[in-house]
Structure 1
């Protein structure tokens, strides 16, 4: 089998085994991955920063670890690689050079992964689509006119296109699970504190952000969780370690799980038929495996949760934009109008209003905890709608003009009271209302690619577990992967 074929057909665990046996070298795998990037990239636009020079040096050296010799792409946000450009998808950071490694990157290097670049993300990781002024639009391999989602859209596109078997990702409101669902991949968002965000950060978004990977196979995700999990000195929140390595959970009997499901949008929007069909078929499959499945959902006000999420969103955008402006000595006009409008909203929000919104997080966690007293897992669609077409979610020109005008007038409080906010927020959350719950309650959740729509696009289903129970999700995911395999399905991207 040709090397390119090996790279496309094998997961990271299998590739590492080939390298360990001497059947293929790290250099050969690197060249195969780079050839695939060069062939696919003009259409996908998945890679933000090319690091092949560094990768060649790394592949030529001594590599050790569970993934020695396997090519890997970082996400261009939160995964700093010293000496490399890290842009966060922003024109304002096009020349930003990381001065030190993130703990995430150190652990990838220690595992023997050969880092060949970073993947595109929306500006500052703020949207569920990956289209930027700096890098342009990243496209979904299953339909080049569609988005791969965001903010880990570049990683999802690269893995789905079989450029390489896994890539870095992070999730602050669905940014692992949404791209996984849109690109036919497995995507696990871990619990708060499972993977350190240090040393540059204590916790992202008050603990709502978690890093991990996007993969084709469940075993790769589990093995990478073993690589990445664990605290760093100074971390503000340390979660108890797992009882045993996560790789050992793959193939373990999940037992008879009690699973509650819902297809109702938490914010009252429409849910596309292919999403409800995916959940219904998943429920039937689960019952055939001996699990108990019934319609049930936690007692949570989805509208309130979305407002709390948007308050977090506004506040952190404002703080990040101000930090970049100060450090890089650049004007606010360097950012996209949407980003500037969000920053203005964050500045207009009082500290008291922010704290009041965050105080509701406890209620969400308590309600979800009460639900999990009866049910092991909560099953929902990952998204309410399929992937948007490229450009479909771009803010309408009129709203951009109004946002620019209001920003220029420093009328943040006026903007908060206007209908612009509702339009900006609802337009994004209407499509993706199911994922924020896991972030604001700090629990693990996963997207599993069990369904494809009539248009040939993948549809993921989401499972949410109790805090710290990644092992339950991995056991079930491996069981589903065995009886309803998805790795043999791939986009028709030549």
Structure 2
């Protein structure tokens, strides 16, 4: 199979070619491996490969599986393959091996996907960029001096460059939608609990984290959700597997009431400034929706961004402190001696000083926001707003500077973390880390499904996604709208030039 033929198809397209006998599973597999071997030295998207293991696993795949023979990549975070490395983007976990497959990986195998390796993520998935100290920094295939975003930046770079047609990703604060926006891809964050995290975890970040994928086509995302959704044994979320996500694409949605916002309530308290191209992307998407027969009305979500950011970051601190304790247990290394980045260590120390009362109050605020959004969706079916404040930033632009890392290292001094918390460092941390991406955490806190649609390219040639948020559990309507917009816009034509 020629490389240009391989890149021309999405995952379901490749599966159809294999089933129809036009190409063999081995030809598709070899093309994917060749793309990774040629492209990854430039991209830095894949942190480790497992070609031979995947080749052997492919020999027992059910040919009737929806993605039988289609190559993919999993993220180096949470997505465990039994007996194989899973580093969580950190040097501290470089030698750790997962005891068993995650439920998600088991379902990927059942769907016929060939897992060729793992993609880059920031340390512990903590940032909206992918620049870990322990691994190469992936480049954005649209412009190599730019970031693909994060925390699923490696996955986004791999799909945008055509290494694989779809790659697994996770979203705890925008980590599917942000890289989708920066790399011109479709990215759906499902509803809370829709995809299982077991058996290693029941929930991550109090349920804010949901796993799914970055794809070129809407139908790949929908078919994958058909295959992986539903609780596993011991799940804290009683969501049985449901069919019908792919079939939801067969008919366009009826006229919808769509609220359109530039996200000012979410970004104002953080000092967010919206790039004119992002504003243009949202406005053009609103006009496109009107042209398709939907009712569009400007209306902001009923949320105060400062309180939302404080609530999000409070639980973020608490969970990082717990995560570092877990890593210490897994590796046998005391937390104070873990090989972690200065920013991670500093934030973890802040988390250790977090009072349980503040943690619980922050979690209760999630309910306040969720109830407000449920009331909002009684008036509007969907909410359209930005994904990020700008197109892809330059690599290194958003990572803490050396001076900031030295300042954060001072938190190692006994008592300094408590003083920092009292001095309002949480609010500064929120502003610093969320100023460019204040629009995505809302759906993680409320549990709602949300997606990034690749509907705009700037005059400088960088993609800009727009975000659509739906009511809890309403993925089918989101996917149906996405398919309608995909057909109307033809966004699949906008792929970066091939590598090599």
Q: TM-score range by the shorter chain?
A: over 0.9
**How far off its partner does 1:253 sit?**
2.3
- Equivalent pair of 1:119/1:155 in contact (CA under 8 Å): yes
User: Does the 8 A contact of 2:256 with 2:382 survive in 1?
Assistant: yes
Question: Which runs of structure 2 are paired with 1:239-258 in the superposition (5 Å)?
Answer: 239=239, 242=242, 244-258=243-257
For residues 4 and 59 of structure 1, what CA distance do their matches in structure 2 show?
A: 20
SS in 2 for 1:188: strand
Q: Deviations over 1:426-447 (max 9, x none)?
A: 2220110000000000010000
> Which residue matches 2:108?
108
**Residue 89 of structure 1 contacts residue 120 of structure 1 at CA under 8 Å; is this kept in 2?**
yes
SS at match of 1:246: coil
Are positions 1:350 and 2:355 aligned together? yes
What aligned pairs does 1:175-186 form with structure 2 within 5 A after superposition?
175-186=175-186
Q: TM-score scaled to structure 1, two decimals? A: 0.97
Give, in whole Å, the separation in 2 of the partners of 1:285 and 1:415. 47
Contact kept? 1:63, 1:69, Cα under 8 Å? no
Shift of residue 109, structure 1, vs aligned partner: 0.4
> Which residue of structure 2 aligns with residue 224 of structure 1?
224
Partner residue of 1:272 out of 250, 264, 275: 275
The aligned residue for residue 322 of structure 1 is 325
What do the CA deviations read for 1:335-388 (whole angstroms, capped 9, x no partner)? 100100110111111000100111111110111011100000000011112221
Unaligned residue ranges in structure 2 (runs of 5+): none
**CA gap 1:240/1:59 in 2 versus in 1, 3 angstroms:** closer
Deviation at 1:254, TM superposition (A): 0.5
d(CA) in 2 for partners of 1:447, 1:165: 17
Task: Tell me the CA shift for residue 397 of structure 1.
Answer: 2.0
Deviates more, 1:341-350 or 1:22-31: 22-31
Determine if contact 2:447/2:472 at 8 Å carries over to the other structure.
yes
2:461 matched residue in structure 1: 456
Separation in 2 of the partners of 1:128 and 1:170? 12
Given the alignment, which residue of 452, 468, 473 partners 1:468?
473
Give the stretch that moved more between structures: 72-81 or 394-403: 394-403
CA distance in 2, matches of 1:26, 1:165: 15
CA contact (8 A) 1:30 1:59 kept: no
Question: What is the TM-score when the length of structure 2 is the normalising length?
Answer: 0.96
Q: How many residues align?
A: 492
CA distance in 1, matches of 2:482, 2:148: 22
What is the rounded CA distance, in whole Å, between the counterparts of 2:479 and 2:103 in structure 1?
24
1:298 aligns with 2:301: yes
Map of 2:40 onto structure 1: 41
Give 2:287's aligned residue.
284
Partners of 2:61 and 2:309 lie apart in 1 by 48
> In 2, distance between residues paired with 1:253 and 1:393?
39
8 Å Cα contact 1:297/1:371 also seen in 2: no
What is the CA–CA distance in structure 2 between the aligned matches of 1:189 and 1:146, rounded to whole Å? 24
1:195/1:276 CA distance change after superposition, 3 Å: same
The CA deviation at 1:419 is 6.1
Q: State the Cα distance separating 1:279 from its structure 2 match.
A: 0.4
Partner deviation per Cα, 1:405-454 (whole Å, 9 max, x = no partner): 22243521112234654444322201100000000000100000000112
Residue 312 of structure 1 corresponds to 315
**Secondary structure, counterpart of 1:267 in structure 2:** helix
Aligned to 2:399: 394
Structure 1 runs not aligned, ≥5 long = none
Q: Is this contact kept in 1: 2:61–2:68, CA < 8 A?
A: no
Shift of 1:233: 1.3
In structure 2, the partner of 1:138 is 138
The RMSD of aligned alpha carbons is 1.3
- 1:85 is aligned to 85
The farther-off stretch of 77-86 and 264-273 is 264-273
**Is the 2:74–2:169 contact (alpha carbons within 8 Å) kept by the matching residues of 1?**
yes
3-state DSSP of counterpart to 2:100: coil
Task: Tell me if structure 1 keeps the 8 A contact 2:139–2:146.
Answer: yes
Matched, 1:380 2:385: yes
Q: CA–CA distance in 2 between the matches of 1:62 and 1:324? A: 34
**SS of the counterpart of 1:80?**
coil
Partner of 1:131, secondary structure, is coil
Give the stretch that moved more between structures: 407-416 or 123-132: 407-416
Once the 2 structures are TM-superposed, how far is the Cα of residue 329 of structure 1 from its aligned partner?
1.7
Q: Secondary structure at the match of 1:48?
A: strand
